[in-house]
Amino acid sequence: MALRYLRTQRANQFASLVGVASVLGVALGVAALIVVLSVMNGFENELRSRLVTITGHAAVLTGRQGEGWRELRDDLGAWPGIVAAAPYVELEAMLANGGELAGVVIEGMDPGQDAAFADQRTAIFGAGLAELHPGSFHALLGHALALRLGLATGDRVRVMVPVRDADGHLVSRLREITVAGVFEIGVRDHDSVRVLLNLADAAQLAGLGDKVTGVRLEMADIFAAPEILQRWEAHWAAAGRAGFATTDWSRDNASYFRAVRIEKVMMTLLLSLIVAVAAFNIVATLVMIVTDKRPSIAILRTLGFSRRAIIAIFALQGLLIGWVGVLAGILAGSLLAENIAAVVPALEGFFGFEFMPADVYYLTSLPVDLQADDLFWVSVIALLMTALATIYPALRAASVAPAEVLRYE
């Protein structure tokens, strides 16, 4: 009966048109939510992969007393869930080029230390990594840092490192380094302060000799990093060895991913307004159907239909509109998200401009990650909105008084 009332009738063409608009509105809102959330998931994944390119998935910090780092590295490398472990040196310094000064964080790494790190870093830093030979003092600078200091590949720049002498006094160690390349991660906290050197060169600048400041880790599952690290710490402590401070990507970059989560929530709320507008159209559609079907409703009541049955009929009509719209939106949104790499160039050609110019953004294409959880929650939100939209029209239909309606029939 609910389906019969939704059929297009000659006397109710406007209600049918509004009903079609309601379906399209729900579908549009659901599709927009799916595409936007998928793109934001893609950006989050890209941001995560770029952030951990330097810092790794986790790290064990040995401090400046890291004589036994080789044993530590070997133990970590053999631990289940850890696929790579590589030493690093990190120190703060100052770069000077002419009258320009900039505080920096120097990261010492060995490009050939581990294949897993090498493959990941080459994708970001390019061929410049091959120039970081021991003793060469060649460096890779963040893009924003190089612009600030007016440096380009091949330029030489002075680096000042604060160290303590034998008497404990703070002095500066000076050294010239050569810019072997420029990298851009897309995160200002890295691009404006990071300098990459060979591990041995960074250790020499810091006065560490053969020591390192920690061991970077690459996990088989990045999301399991905190749990794996916690299990390893328990194992290391049970062996009676000296404890080390540890950290992982979720703690190092908590503010970035908290901001991404907040943005996703806000975008979901904003785009849900499209579904809300469609829900108002459902209300209008059902109210017009109720008004048009008042005699039919009165006859049903005289035949013994209860108020609950009338409410169920008109609530089901609204839910049918919602379900059709949600299913259409899921299909359209999923297809668009999966094929966005082909859609975006077509739109750029049609409108005559680039959505993501290479000279402005560090990405030139939209990354997409379509997740089943997003499909589920978007569907639930849309169905709840359409279900709420049926309450008033259904109650209005149930309140029709048969005697009053049929008096002049």
pLDDT tens string 36-63: 888 888 888 887 877 777 778 888 888 7
Instruction: Return the percentage of the chain with pLDDT > 70, whole number.
Output: 82
Cα distance between residue 156 and residue 151, in whole Å = 8
Task: Inform me whether the pLDDT recorded for 10 exceeds 60.
Answer: no
Q: Is 104 helix (H, G, I), strand (E, B) or coil?
A: strand
Give tens-digit pLDDT for 318-327: 788 888 888 9
Q: Is 322 helix (H, G, I), strand (E, B) or coil?
A: helix
Cα distance between residue 38 and residue 334, in whole Å = 9
pLDDT of residue 8: 44
**C-alpha to C-alpha distances, 375 to 122, 240, 319, 336, nearest whole angstrom:** 35, 49, 18, 13
Q: In terms of pTM, does the model score above 0.85? A: no
Give tens-digit pLDDT for 79-137: 898 888 888 888 889 998 888 888 899 988 887 765 555 555 655 566 667 778 888 88
Select the highest-mean-pLDDT range: 30-34, 65-69, 392-396.
Answer: 30-34
Question: What's the number of CA atoms in the CB half-sphere (13 Å) around residue 287?
Answer: 10
Average pLDDT, the chain: 79
User: How much is the average pLDDT of 366-385?
Assistant: 86
Cα distance between residue 243 and residue 234, in whole Å = 10
Cα distance between residue 83 and residue 88, in whole Å = 16
Instruction: Return the percentage of the chain with pLDDT > 90, whole number.
Output: 2
Cα distance between residue 170 and residue 141, in whole Å = 26
**C-alpha to C-alpha distances, 361 to 38, 185, 355, 365, nearest whole angstrom:** 19, 10, 10, 9
Percent of residues in the chain assigned helix, strand, coil, to nearest 5: 60, 20, 25
> Cβ of 186: how many Cβ atoms within 10 Å?
16
User: How much is the average pLDDT of 196-220?
Assistant: 86
